[in-house]
Structure 1
Amino acid sequence: MKTVALTIDRLIVPASLENADAADFRAYGDLNRLICDEAVGIPDLAPDAAQMLPDWQDDTDSIDLGFVARLEGRIVGMVTMAFAQETDAHAAEVDLLVPAEHWGRGVEQALMERAEEEARARGRSVVQIWSLHRPEEAERMLVPRTGWGRIPAIPLSDLLESRGFVLEQVERNSEFDLRGDAEPQRKALADALAFAGSDYRVVEWMMPTPPELREGFAAVLARLSTDAPSGDMDFAAEHWDADRVVRREARLTAAGQAVSVVAVRHEPTGELVAYNELLIAADRSGVTHQFGTLVSKDHRGHRLGTIVKCANLLRWRELMPLSAVVSTFNAEENRPMLSINEAIGFVPVSYAGAWQKKI
């Protein structure tokens, strides 16, 4: 009987998707969407190859690499890794992409072995990975160490548990219908602005961020890595300055994506203390993704989260009238932000599990 060997090679990062060596990276984009479709029926959770390529080409702030598994020349899975470049970063972030038709043939085990080997070789002591789950009950439900939320066991979670990963956190993926009645957001915004008072002023722009706002925006972006609830996930505090803001926005807008930012400035200090980002791909009729949203710890309790979310959603309806839905992820223990989402009209559509293993 003929034995077919599994081969695992580095994913080539092409200079352009039109290049002769870009086939695997284009396949990566397709596979990413297929995995999201199989897992939760929402392929648009995943960016396509064109959206991901600029980030992979710039290693300044995070190094991305991937491995491609093949059987008889056919791609049967991939694993990708991201290494934050902060000097005190301990973790390697992993994404395992093995479609259902190839699961259970040893592909997933081989790719995870390769990822953990690479993490060790690069001096990382922690491996992190996320799993996607449908909003349904199952015979075995998993509860994270935070105690907030629960997800149904799936083959990926079984694999991770068998390899010593711990479920640290559950995130809720919610969607908002942009074609519904906007009056509830208008009222919520008006009420929140009145509650916050004159010390807080709304500032809004489309990326790229104006030069005079970059340092202030860098400061509030840095807080996302420290102020956002993350359970016991090992995330290094990110270091931001105006140059890093410019690099990030060049990556985000390189593939024709558009990003609207609504922030709140604290007038007595001049600091930006809250922000919300909405992003859409070059296809302006597609799904909108809510990226970062944060209210600085020192300024919570003034309804600033409601202000930035509602103001950006209302602004987005005018900027991108063809987009029908906004998708966002929030930690289940982040009850203040989830309460805002629920009041605005977001509804849960899937969940994600955040897993971690010390190596």
Structure 2
Amino acid sequence: MSNIVITPMVVPAHPKAAEAHEFRTMVRLGNEMARTDAGIDDLDETVEETLPSWLDQTDRLRTGFIARRDGEIVGAAEFSTSTAAGTLAADLALMAPAAEFRGGTAQALLDQLEHEAASLGRSVLQTWTLHPASPAERTLTPVTGWGSVSSTPMSDLLIASGYVLEQVERNSALPLQGPLDDVRARLAEASAYAGPDYRIVCWNLPTPPQFRTGYAHLIASMVTNIPTGDMVTQEEQWDEAKLVRHDERIMAGGQTLSIVAVVHEPSGQMVAFNELAIGEDRAGVTQQWGTLVLGEHRGKRLGTIVKCANLLRWREIAPDSPKVTTFNAEENRPMLGINEAIGFVPASYAGGWQKKLR
């Protein structure tokens, strides 16, 4: 490891800026590692989509590091954490070829990230690994007991460094090119079951002013209303200003985001939502981001309503997208059941890891 040099990553002002080489290499290494570990190319990110979240750090601090050997970039790492007072957790990401996890580069980057966390007073470190859909010879079971993942060079490094596999998420995929008659029928059936107290609303970013409060509340509720095992989570505070920044970052990256939500008419509260996103390439893979039904409104098939309504809406927005992909905790059987009924199938898996510094 003595010949590995780690330096702070230069964040460019623009994707095509002269100083963008390190940032572009970080994104490329991340995509290559995701393809190797997950066995699919559905999760690729672009520099254009990624950069806006690094340029606006009002709500989340992001710091990058580059590892070089003999002047050549051999790895990268990202440290991110909320800027809110009292934040305990930090998210870590390592990006390097498999050989660098055995050759010391990844360990050096991980040590740098842990030092960064300690210097900022973050006591809980969290990260995610990707894994193929087909199990390997050696598998790992999370603390939750739900699901398992195949070992990878990164998971081996994390175990050796004191991290605990807390949770497994399933990455599911649904082909979008076939007929959507079944989706349409499921939406009609679920809507009839929910009854007239629930009304569908939908929009693309930017969020209209009349929906900002409800949408912000649902995003904030994601942290505490979805299964996270023993992963440390903290309540998030979202107001309209923060939501506007959220929208602006996504749009600055050239992404289109469709939101379908349900409003509970008697209370006027927005109680469920689903998000579908795609980059500038409308023939690329669609990503399903958040899906949530507030606890007191579960059992009304609102999850089916927002998912199916958005899939039908998406056909008009991105008709050439071949598939949609999404992640759900293995213990979140109600949401996985909805996905399976619609036609989603496992495409890969993710492991949630955690280490407490004190």
Q: What TM-score range do you get, normalising by the shorter chain?
A: over 0.9
Does structure 2 conserve the Cα–Cα contact (< 8 Å) formed by 1:4 and 1:72? no
Report the secondary structure of 2:340's partner residue: helix
Partner of 1:298: 296
Does structure 2 conserve the Cα–Cα contact (< 8 Å) formed by 1:86 and 1:236? no
CA deviations on 1:270-292 (whole Å, 9 max, x unpaired) are: 11000000000011110100011
Partner of 1:32: 30
CA deviations on 1:206-260 (whole Å, 9 max, x unpaired) are: 1111011101111111110110111111122111111111000100111211010
Does structure 2 conserve the Cα–Cα contact (< 8 Å) formed by 1:28 and 1:49? no
CA deviations on 1:278-337 (whole Å, 9 max, x unpaired) are: 000011110100011100011000000000000000110111111111010000000000
Deviates more, 1:198-207 or 1:86-95: 86-95
Report the secondary structure of 1:232's partner residue: coil
Query: Could you tell me how far apart the structure 2 residues matched to 1:71 and 1:85 are?
Result: 33
Q: How does 1:1-359 map to 2 (within 5 A)?
A: 5-359=3-357
Deviation (angstroms), 1:89: 1.7
Query: Could you tell me how far apart the structure 2 residues matched to 1:304 and 1:352 are?
Result: 26
Does structure 1 conserve the Cα–Cα contact (< 8 Å) formed by 2:175 and 2:323? yes
Does structure 1 conserve the Cα–Cα contact (< 8 Å) formed by 2:42 and 2:325? no
CA deviations on 1:75-103 (whole Å, 9 max, x unpaired) are: 10011111112223211100111112433
Report the secondary structure of 1:103's partner residue: helix
Does structure 1 conserve the Cα–Cα contact (< 8 Å) formed by 2:101 and 2:157? no
Deviation (angstroms), 1:170: 0.1
Structure 2 gap segments, 5+ residues each: none
Does structure 1 conserve the Cα–Cα contact (< 8 Å) formed by 2:216 and 2:238? yes
Does structure 2 conserve the Cα–Cα contact (< 8 Å) formed by 1:167 and 1:354? yes
Query: Could you tell me how far apart the structure 2 residues matched to 1:195 and 1:159 are?
Result: 49
CA deviations on 1:33-79 (whole Å, 9 max, x unpaired) are: 11111112323313111101000111111111110000111110011
Query: Could you tell me how far apart the structure 2 residues matched to 1:336 and 1:352 are?
Result: 19
Return the letter of the residue paired with 1:263. Answer: A
Return the letter of the residue paired with 2:256. Answer: A
Query: Could you tell me how far apart the structure 2 residues matched to 1:154 and 1:25 are?
Result: 25
Return the letter of the residue paired with 1:59. Answer: Q
Return the letter of the residue paired with 1:240. Answer: W
Does structure 1 conserve the Cα–Cα contact (< 8 Å) formed by 2:224 and 2:235? yes
Query: Could you tell me how far apart the structure 2 residues matched to 1:175 and 1:336 are?
Result: 17
Structure 1 gap segments, 5+ residues each: none
Report the secondary structure of 1:354's partner residue: strand
Deviation (angstroms), 1:120: 0.3
Does structure 1 conserve the Cα–Cα contact (< 8 Å) formed by 2:190 and 2:305? yes
Query: Could you tell me how far apart the structure 2 residues matched to 1:162 and 1:44 are?
Result: 29
For normalisation by structure 1, the TM-score amounts to 0.97
Query: Could you tell me how far apart the structure 2 residues matched to 1:32 and 1:165 are?
Result: 21
Query: Could you tell me how far apart the structure 1 residues matched to 2:16 and 2:211 are?
Result: 36
Report the secondary structure of 1:64's partner residue: strand
Does structure 2 conserve the Cα–Cα contact (< 8 Å) formed by 1:185 and 1:314? yes
RMSD: 1.1
For normalisation by structure 2, the TM-score amounts to 0.98
Return the letter of the residue paired with 1:232. Answer: D
Query: Could you tell me how far apart the structure 2 residues matched to 1:29 and 1:137 are?
Result: 27
Deviation (angstroms), 1:156: 1.2
Query: Could you tell me how far apart the structure 1 residues matched to 2:129 and 2:253 are?
Result: 27
Deviation (angstroms), 1:4: 6.8
Does structure 1 conserve the Cα–Cα contact (< 8 Å) formed by 2:177 and 2:320? no
Query: Could you tell me how far apart the structure 1 residues matched to 2:85 and 2:338 are?
Result: 35
Identity %: 51
Relative to 1, partners in 2 of residues 1:82 and 1:4: Cα closer, same or farther, differing over 3 Å? Answer: closer
Report the secondary structure of 1:45's partner residue: coil
Return the letter of the residue paired with 2:37. Answer: A
Return the letter of the residue paired with 2:154. Answer: L
Return the letter of the residue paired with 1:66. Answer: G
Does structure 2 conserve the Cα–Cα contact (< 8 Å) formed by 1:64 and 1:82? yes
CA deviations on 1:163-200 (whole Å, 9 max, x unpaired) are: 11011000000111001220110111000000000000
